[in-house]
Amino acid sequence: MTLRDALRIPASEVTDETVYHDRRRLLAAFASLPALSLAGCADAEPPPSPRTNVTPAQARGGFATDEAPTRYEDVTSYNNFYEFGTGKQDPSRAAKTLRTSPWSVEVAGECAKPGTISLDDLVRGLAPQERIYRLRCVEGWSMVIPWLGVPLGEILKRFQPTANAKFVAFTTLADREQMPGLRFRSINWPYREGLRIDEAMHPLTLLATGLYGKPLPQQNGAPLRLVVPWKYGFKSIKSIVRIEFTERMPKTAWNDLQPREYGFFSNVNPEVDHPRWSQKTERRISGDGASRLFPERIATRMFNGYAEQVASMYSGMDLKRWY
């Protein structure tokens, strides 16, 4: 398969399985290309972050939306959680084996107070807030989800990151006994994600512990998952067991697999296409039960509609290069 063939896969055929099975062939196709810029990858050093000058009122403006929330049933049965299989229905069926209590998180790296801390202690004294966010998957579907959670920045501050903490790296549990999907090499386990420190401290960035007013179901990343509403869904790492402050840009699971397709930043951007499909529109899975079969196609917005809150973090950056 040549690169041209690979790029000709129509968007309508893009399914998890296509992505998964074409991975090898695509990698071979890309490998035969002259060296492309590795700008979006963990190997490259990104430009320094400008100061975030979002006001509290602006931030609050991103905490809710009038758009119809996706039905609870769809939010909890149409998932990506490869530790439990690559099919959309797999996590809701298979993730019941995930034991979410007791749960603790190891906090490490560039901070004054590293340590392993129970989930209760991690969020102690921080009342969960409801945030109704759009979540836009890189594959082209989107949902509107009422999350419950605490701002990640409030938690990170408690560990007193040092001046060397330029990034934050996250790791998901990887336990073969609880996670049947680990038998397959769909990802180089454990699943990893990362944010630049200013993104991690941004008031919109949430550590979610619930949705629709209830504790998170396992398939949605219980007991603790990240939600970064202006980035593609895969940045929202589930069932987190480790948080590390780092000086260098950390390795991330999807970038590690396909650096030319998934960059470190992965901000939702209708102007920057995925190499194999356009990102200009999305299928909104909304409150209407029929929408899963006949979803509405709507225009994807810059930064997933959160430009007012987050665009200042990327001013001066070439977003085609830092995808």
- The residue with tokens 């990034």 is 167
Check residue 95 for interaction with ligand MTE (CB under 6 A): no
Q: What is the CA radius of gyration of the chain?
A: 19
Are 309 and 59 in contact, with CB atoms under 8 Å apart?
yes
Q: CB-wise, 79 or 269, nearer to ligand MTE?
A: 79
Q: Does 233 bind Mo ion (CB under 5 A)?
A: yes
Nearest to 202 by CA among 59, 75, 4, 9: 59
Shortest Å distance, C-beta 289 to Mo ion: 22
Q: 116-135: which residues touch ligand MTE (CB under 6 A)?
A: 135
Nearer to Mo ion, 234 or 306 (CB): 234
The residue from 133, 167, 170, 234 that contacts Mo ion (CB under 5 A) is: 234
Please provide residue 42's backbone torsions phi and psi, each rounded to the nearest 5 degrees: -65, -15
Q: What would the two tokens of residue 298 be?
A: 């709507």
Is the omega angle on the peptide bond into residue 223 within 30 degrees of 0, that is, cis? yes
Q: Which of Mo ion, ligand MTE, none lies near 81, with the C-beta cut-off 5 to 8 A by kind?
A: ligand MTE
Shortest distance, position 239 Cβ to ligand MTE, whole Å: 6
Given the complex with ligand MTE, which of 150 and 285 has the nearer CB atom? 285
Residue 84, binding choice from Mo ion, ligand MTE, none, Cβ under 5 to 8 Å by partner class:
none
Residues 221-240 that bind ligand MTE (CB under 6 A): 221, 233-234, 236-239
Q: What is the edge-to-edge ordering of all strands in the sheet holding 115-118?
A: 115-118, 104-109, 240-246, 167-172, 192-196
Piece of 14-22, 48-56, 76-84, 303-311 that binds ligand MTE (CB under 6 A): 76-84
Nearer Cβ to ligand MTE (239/304):
239
Q: Which stretch binds ligand MTE (CB under 6 A): 79-87, 104-112, 265-273, 275-283?
A: 79-87
Q: Which of residues 150-209 bind ligand MTE (CB under 6 A)?
A: 172, 191
Tally of CB atoms within 10 A around 31: 8
Tell me if 62 contacts ligand MTE by CB under 6 A. Answer: no
CB 225 within 8 A of CB 216: yes
Contacts with Mo ion by CB under 5 A lie at 80, 137, 233-234
Contacts with ligand MTE by CB under 6 A lie at 79-83, 135, 137, 172, 191, 220-221, 233-234, 236-239
